[in-house]
Amino acid sequence: MLQVAFIRENKETVLKGLAKRNFKNAESIIDQVISTDENRRSTQTELDNTLAESNKLSKEIGILYKNGEPKKANILKEKTSQLKNESKELTEKLGQLSEELQDLLYQIPNIPHDSVPSGNTEDDNETVFEEGTIPTLHEGALPHWELAKKYDIIDFELGNKITGAGFPVYKGKGARLQRALINYFLDKNTAAGYNEIQVPHLVNEESGKGTGQLPDKEGQMYHAGIDNLYLIPTAEVPVTNIYRDVLLKETDFPITNTAYTPCFRREAGSYGAHVRGLNRLHQFDKVEIVRIEHPSNSYKALDGMVDHIKGILQELELPYRILRLCGGDIGFTSALTFDFEVFSTAQDRWLEISSVSNFETFQANRLKLRFKNSEGKSELAHTLNGSSLALPRVLAGLLENCQTPEGIKIPKVLVPYCGFEMIN
């Protein structure tokens, strides 16, 4: 969430950033924010003055009674009674204005970093890096959903029977490979200095608001209505919310965590060949990395996260590319996002497998996540997160790119984790 003071003092910069995002009605909403904030501040001033006058009169009443002047005291008491009614009305008005202001701020996305390219759709994203050789597959090579059926390692129909579409059942070597990838990702992350934690898979409404999933993506989250809890769409939500309402010290930075969780997304409106098989699921596994950084170091940290994921993909021997997302494709809460994509040779297209983002102070403002700077003043921290990695499309890429006439050859780095070299 953007800070009101920043919006008020940098209106043109905010509007320019929102224009890069193609955000509709930007000027109207920003003007509403500024006018509502002015009204809120003037109401606060009026309330403060009313309370101050009431307190002053209360002291005078006490003195008058003490001096034996009850008539004068009673006259003042009538005035204090009127002031109490006024302060009550002002308090109610202030609460209403604060709520209106909060609702307006929740509608406004983050301001993109200067390096974010302009554009409307994913076609306008900028390729910043590409590595790996796209393999030439043998005749009769299959997409992963056909390979899953051929080798009986993933059963989409059984998942559909148990729950519905988008909830696959992993079997035999498919389940072992899934577990191997989770352990491998966690080992790589902890070796890089990330602290492994386990977190709840359901969160409350405040947690969803803290990281920006609510109210923006409410329709994409599974909601347990009786308890008003939400199934997590990513470990980013519970991990980052560990630091909600926390005041850090500068010496606490950097804070680095990694967590494996299942993730749940309704993906409403997703259909067609591009979401077939593992390409888009309602439940999937993911290993996440989350950082809390000093503002002066967050973009250096972002570069480090990108390099870290590069190293993993190099070891998996998968052809990949990195995209800098354009203003029209970047997420609601992000200031800068890099997407990693693996090339699926059997599908002849790129599959997104990771997003690495710097949110700057956007989440921290919602979370009230601050630190004491060297001058002793309270300042908002920067938050970052990335997939390291999401399993479904990594697995799809491995199955498709590593297939041979004899079976699917497992990358060397995973063999110690899964205990076999081939799926056949």
Annotated binding site for L-serine: 234, 265, 288, 385
Give the CA angle between residues 402, 403, 406 to the nearest 5°: 130
- Give strand pairing partners of 264: 283
Burial readout 376-393 (b: 16 or more C-beta within 10 A, e: otherwise): eeebbbbbbbbbbbbbbb
Q: Whose CA is closest to 369, among 258, 211, 197, 230?
A: 211
- Give strand pairing partners of 370: 247, 380
Q: Pairing state of beta strands 195-196 and 255-264?
A: parallel
Give the CA angle between residues 265, 293, 375 to the nearest 5°: 140
Residue type, 178: Q
Residues of each annotated binding site: 234, 265-267, 288, 352-355, 385
DSSP state letters, 330-384? S-TT-SEEEEEEEEETTTTEEEEEEEEEEEETHHHHHHT-EEE-TTS-EEE-EEE
- Give strand pairing partners of 259: 288
Edge-first strand order for the sheet with 223-224 is 202-204, 229-231, 223-224
Is the Cβ–Cβ distance between 286 and 234 less than 8 Å? yes
Residues of each annotated binding site for ATP: 265-267, 352-355
Compute CA distances 1 → 23, 106, 122, 211, 373, whole Å.
15, 6, 24, 9, 21
Q: Whose CA is closest to 292, among 234, 364, 387, 237?
A: 364
